[in-house]
Amino acid sequence: MLAEFNIQRPDDSLRQKAIDKIDNLNKPKGSLGRLEDIALQLCLIQQTLSPKLKHPCHLLLGGDHGIEKEGVSQSPREVTWQQMINFTKGGGGVNMFCRQHNFKLELVDMGVDHDMSSYSAIKDCKIGWGTENFLYGPAMTEVQYLEALETGASLAEECIDEGCNILSIGEMGIANTSPSSIWLSLMGEIPLDDCIGAGSGLNTKGIEHKKQVLAQAVDKFLADYPDPSDEEIIMYFGGFEMVAAIGAMLKAAELKTTVLVDGFIMTACALAATRLYPECQDYMIFCHIGDESAHRKMLEVMDAKPLLSLGLRLGEGTGALCAYPIIESAVRMINEMNNFQNAKITKYF
């Protein structure tokens, strides 16, 4: 394994005490549903019966994909850099939700095919001017893969050093549903056609073309790598922004920090991260199931239950940001609700 992180599952010895505290809040047992599950998870991650949310941060990672040149996306490549610039002006969906929920937003150029150096609000971590076209060979080299992974880890660590204990991650990269679909197919052992959807809005003819292109790419890959490792799959098809997201997720788990997982692309990154280190899933809260047809299959592969189903397919981490108030409610529940004894209410179960 090329990636090296020291990830430990949360100490489970606090579980029963946390369950007892939740069950003794003045409510019918289990009546606050998923809020109770989230509160328990946060207790275990933070190793306390009174969890807190501190300095929430959102990493928005941008990168372009060589496979876009094959017409697999409704959106043209230049939308990546145009949207990244739009984010610097506060005009994106991600900006709105970060402002609403008081997240620090960090814009990062991991591999946008455009010179972003004049925009001081965008952190320059460019590894390349987009990945190579994986229809003809690997999207990135091993050196680039490790650089992207380490960069993502460093970005997460910087947030955590500032006091962050809950991190969300989003992406901006035209055509990144293509590698996500292939990752799901190869790692989840699901037929490729069942993993491919409309992305940013392909019609039926466009989806069929996308299926043909991705099938050809996978056939070539498996001819060259008949028994591929998970990291070979990640490197061959992934984007720089996606690998950086994996690195950020793994570092957050190593540092016992909660990770909010957004829609199809970020769930693909979470799937890849858990294939490398299964323990990291204990630190993830899955926030939203989107309209991409294979997203439900991906969540099922991970046995993950999303909090929201709002029909979102914007990306940028917007589904994770929308779910944040629910997580805040879970924290308020365990910290602010009275218990039966103090409220002098008969405990009836």
Query: Cβ neighbours of residue 56 under 8 Å, at least 6 residues apart?
Result: 101, 102, 103, 104, 164, 166, 167, 168, 324
CATH number of this structure's domain 57-333, picked from the four choices 3.40.50.10210, 3.10.20.30, 3.30.420.40, 3.40.50.620: 3.40.50.10210
Q: What is the pLDDT of residues 288-315, one digit of tens each?
A: 998 777 999 999 999 999 999 998 888 8
Query: Cβ neighbours of residue 157 under 8 Å, at least 6 residues apart?
Result: 251, 255
Q: What is the mean pLDDT of residues 257-267?
A: 96
Among the listed residues 112, 134, 120, the one whose alpha carbon sits nearest the alpha carbon of residue 186: 134
| Residue matched to tokens 């460019």 | 126
pLDDT confidence of residue 325: 97
pLDDT confidence of residue 262: 95
Q: Residue 61: beta bridge partners?
A: 108, 171
pLDDT confidence of residue 203: 86
The pLDDT mean for the chain works out to 94
pLDDT confidence of residue 215: 96
Band (68; pLDDT cuts 50, 70, 90) = very high
Q: Which range among 2-11, 169-178, 338-347 shows the weakest confidence by mean pLDDT?
A: 338-347
Band (341; pLDDT cuts 50, 70, 90) = confident
Amino acid at 178: S
Q: Is the pTM of this model over 0.85?
A: yes
Residue 201 buriedness (CB in 10 A; 0-12 / 13-18 / 19+): exposed
DSSP assignment string, 186-255: HHHT--GGGG---TTT--HHHHHHHHHHHHHHHHHHHHH-SS--HHHHHHHH--HHHHHHHHHHHHHHHT
Gyration radius from the chain CA atoms: 20
Q: Residue 285: beta bridge partners?
A: 260
Q: Residue 261: beta bridge partners?
A: 286
Q: What is the mean pLDDT of residues 158-165?
A: 98
Q: What is the pLDDT of residues 192-243, one digit of tens each?
A: 999 998 776 778 888 899 999 999 999 999 999 999 999 999 999 999 999 9
pLDDT confidence of residue 200: 65
316 is annotated as an active-site residue: yes
Query: What token pair was written down for 117?
Result: 């150096």
With beta carbons less than 8 A apart as the criterion, state whether 277 and 185 touch.
no
Cα separation, 123 vs 290, in Å, equals 28
pLDDT confidence of residue 272: 98
**Which bin fits 198, alpha (ψ -120 to 50), beta or left (φ > 0)?**
alpha
Q: Residue 266: beta bridge partners?
A: none
Q: How far is CA 274 from the centre of its chain?
A: 11
User: b/e map of 122-139 (b: 16 or more CB within 10 Å)?
Assistant: bbebbbbebbbbbbeebb
Among the listed residues 67, 19, 53, 48, the one whose alpha carbon sits nearest the alpha carbon of residue 257: 53
pLDDT confidence of residue 201: 73
| Sign (positive or negative) of CA dihedral 287, 293, 296, 299 | negative
Residue 347 above 90 pLDDT? Answer: no
Cα separation, 167 vs 205, in Å, equals 38
pLDDT confidence of residue 1: 56
Maximum average pLDDT range among 80-84, 309-313, 335-339: 80-84
Helical ranges in the chain per DSSP H:
15-23, 33-46, 78-88, 93-101, 142-161, 177-188, 204-224, 230-237, 240-254, 264-276, 295-301, 318-336, 340-343
Q: What is the mean pLDDT of residues 317-328?
A: 96
The distance in angstroms from the start CA to the end CA of the chain is: 50
Q: Which range among 153-162, 271-280, 316-325, 333-342 shows the weakest confidence by mean pLDDT?
A: 333-342
Task: Give the active site residue among 36, 231, 254, 316.
Answer: 316
